[in-house]
């Protein structure tokens, strides 16, 4: 599916995105490194995990998506790939939840790209996929990421000590969450009401399947 609002689009990430994805990721390497997941050291005698290639990453994302456990998106701004957003850890049954992770090209940071992308993804999860709860887990030091969820009105739920292995060590994370009942009119609609430089007129995003 393709989710779009104005100049921001979410679409499935593809193998053919490899060259552009690598270029954007390489150019932003130093900016992204402090916030990226890493693999903890192996147990004595255990195998050493290697960073996956782009093709391996895409195969993993497709496998998880086909199993209903993940929604992997490329983020486009004004028609060009500028980042990635993944709804992962999707759990069904009595929980119906998932968590969102994302990164964006530093050159477009501050233009509302990421809040719009997250709002599109959350609305899709609640209204189309049928999830009930979405979490975003963020290192306390990651100011730009925290501003995204604060702008969107995610609820802070506290600290999870040494929650994820990031940038070579186990790092604390702040947990932010929303449930479907908290945004009955949609998260994108709420974001457009508070976004600087907008008229406040609600806008319904386009969706193509």
Residue 94 vs residue 52, higher pLDDT? 94
- Range in 38-47, 65-74, 102-111, 195-204 the model is least confident about: 195-204
C-alpha 186/C-alpha 66 separation (Å) is 26
* Confidence (pLDDT) at 198: 58
Mean pLDDT confidence for 102-124: 97
**Which pair of structure tokens corresponds to residue 194?**
């508070």
* Confidence (pLDDT) at 49: 67
**Which pair of structure tokens corresponds to residue 206?**
């386009």
DSSP E strands: which ranges in 94-142? 97-104, 133-138
- Range in 25-39, 41-55, 152-166 the model is least confident about: 41-55
Continuous segment of H or E residues that includes residue 24: helix 18-27
Place of tokens 């999707």: 90
Q: Give tens-digit pLDDT for 152-194.
A: 999 999 999 999 999 999 999 999 999 999 999 999 999 999 9
Sheet with strand 71-77: strands edge to edge: 155-166, 169-179, 133-138, 97-104, 80-91, 71-77, 8-12, 2-5, 206-208
Burial readout 97-132 (b: 16 or more C-beta within 10 A, e: otherwise): bbbbbbbbbbebbebbbbbbbbbbbbbbbbeeeebe
C-alpha 88/C-alpha 53 separation (Å) is 19
């Amino acid at each position: 599916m393709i989710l779009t609002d104005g100049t921001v689009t979410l679409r499935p990430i593809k193998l053919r995105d490899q060259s552009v994805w690598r270029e954007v990721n390489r150019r932003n390497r130093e900016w992204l490194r402090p916030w990226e997941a890493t693999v903890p050291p192996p147990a004595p005698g255990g195998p050493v995990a290697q960073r996956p290639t782009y093709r391996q990453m895409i195969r993993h994302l497709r496998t998880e998506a086909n199993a209903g456990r993940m929604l992997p998106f490329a983020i486009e701004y004004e028609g060009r790939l500028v980042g990635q957003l993944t709804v992962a850890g999707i759990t069904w049954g009595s929980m119906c939840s998932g968590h969102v992770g994302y990164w964006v090209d530093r050159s477009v940071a501050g233009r509302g790209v990421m809040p719009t992308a997250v709002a599109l993804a959350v609305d899709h999860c609640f209204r189309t996929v049928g999830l009930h709860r979405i979490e975003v887990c963020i290192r306390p030091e990651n100011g730009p990421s925290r501003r995204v969820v604060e702008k969107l009105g995610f609820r802070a739920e506290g600290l999870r000590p040494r929650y994820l292995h990031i940038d070579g060590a186990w790092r604390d994370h702040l947990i932010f969450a929303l449930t479907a009942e908290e945004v009955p009119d949609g998260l994108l609609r709420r974001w457009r009401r508070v976004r600087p430089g907008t008229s406040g007129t609600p806008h319904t995003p386009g969706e193509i399947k």
